[in-house]
Amino acid sequence: MQLLDGKYVSEKVKVQIAEEAAQFLSETGRKPHLVAILVGNDGGSETYVASKMKNCEKVGFKSSLYRYDSTVTEAELLDKVREINADDDVDGLIVQLPLPKHIDPEKVTEAIDPKKDVDGFHPINLGRMMRNLPCYIPATPYGILLMLQAYDIDTTGMHCVVVGRSNIVGSPMSVLMARNANPGNCTVTLTHSKTKDLKEQVLQADIIIAAIGKKNFITADMVKPGAIVIDVGINRETSTETKSGYKLYGDVDFENVAPKSSYITPVPGGVGLMTIVGLLKNTLASARKEIY
């Protein structure tokens, strides 16, 4: 079993991004600029956005955070999105999800200029991804591709089973792993909560991508010996053992699955760190006008 080490790979890629950001600054006199909008006080969202902002500073990007109380109206939020769309100093805009119930996430996502949609959630970017056209790939799937690349894992001809069909991870991941590319060229099965024989499906996998959001959902009896296991889960539980007061668990029962796998990502220290790298790379690509 080999660990797919998100800390090691993300730090290595960030050094490269920092060099490219410095080059961009010397050529243009400005830094790549990411703006995040955070609504409410969800603990997970607070942590993720803080980490995104911190990592921007680390690689020499400018970052701005706009915070709103959970009582903000949809109209106010849409106005802010339009204002940022029109600001030439901004390269990337993300609105952290989930949003409060009275705000339609589809409306907000579609209001973001696709050219600044570095989360890759806008239907135009998702549509372009389906057609293999230049686009922003959603940050978590992008991070997973970068991780597989970093370990020279050739996925050609493999059977990839994705567990979970979210717009953010499972659905785009299934498309990317089936594309005529490497990583890619897989036969893909996309499983979800209504899949009848989930265990039998997962047992067929050469690569398992677990994005369900349930602690220890993938158990050792669901894993074929030698499978590659990518754990996207970030399940937070309060804990007295840690300084932060919470502990993170993946969607995979790491302790029992790891000995059966050929490669596996830990939680924390795996996919989560690569998601940030995906976001930074998309922001740099936007600044350099590489996609649009």
For the chain, how many residues are written?
292
CB of 157 to ligand GUN, least distance (A): 29
Catalytic residue among 5, 14, 31, 52: 52
Nearer to ligand GUN, 95 or 175 (CB): 95
CB of 96 to ligand GUN, least distance (A): 5
Which helix (H) or strand (E) covers residue 187, if one does? strand 187-191
CB of 140 to ligand GUN, least distance (A): 6
- Contact of 45 with 53, CB cutoff 8 Å: no
Q: Taking every pair of C-alpha atoms in the chain, what is the biggest distance, in angstroms?
A: 56
Beta strands at 235-238 and 246-249: parallel, antiparallel or unpaired: antiparallel
- Asked if 199 is an active-site residue, the reply is no
Nearer to ligand GUN, 99 or 258 (CB): 99
- Strands (E) located in the chain: 2-3, 33-39, 62-68, 92-95, 159-163, 187-191, 207-210, 228-231, 235-238, 246-249, 263-264
- The residue whose Cβ lies closest to ligand GUN is 97
Nearer to ligand GUN, 201 or 275 (CB): 275
| Rounded Cα–Cα distance for residues 226 and 263 (Å) | 8
Owner of token pair 């800390």: 7
Structure token pair of residue 70: 């959970």
Structure token pair of residue 216: 């220890």
**Cis before 172 (ω within 30):** no
Beta strands at 263-264 and 228-231: parallel, antiparallel or unpaired: parallel
Nearer to ligand GUN, 94 or 205 (CB): 94
Q: Does 112 bind ligand GUN (CB under 6 A)?
A: no
State the binding string over 79-98 for ligand GUN (x if CB under 6 A, else -). Answer: ---------------xxxx-
Catalytic residue among 117, 119, 251, 253: 119
Considering only 39, 56, 103, 139, the residue that binds ligand GUN (CB under 6 A) is 139
Q: What is the DSSP letter of 37?
A: E
CB of 173 to ligand GUN, least distance (A): 13
State the binding string over 47-86 for ligand GUN (x if CB under 6 A, else -). Answer: ----------------------------------------
Beta strands at 92-95 and 33-39: parallel, antiparallel or unpaired: parallel
- Asked if 91 is an active-site residue, the reply is no
Nearer to ligand GUN, 261 or 275 (CB): 275
CB of 95 to ligand GUN, least distance (A): 6
Gyration radius (Cα) of the chain, Å: 19
CB of 255 to ligand GUN, least distance (A): 26
Count of positions on this chain that bind ligand GUN (CB under 6 A)? 9
Considering only 137, 147, 168, 228, the residue that binds ligand GUN (CB under 6 A) is 168
- Asked if 96 is an active-site residue, the reply is yes
Of 71, 37, 1, 51, nearest to 254 by C-alpha is 1
Structure token pair of residue 195: 């899949």
Nearer to ligand GUN, 166 or 182 (CB): 166
- Which residues face 217 on adjacent strands? none
Catalytic residue among 96, 201, 251, 253: 96
Q: Which residues are catalytic?
A: 52, 96, 119
Catalog residues that contact ligand GUN under the rule CB under 6 A.
94-97, 119, 139-140, 168, 275
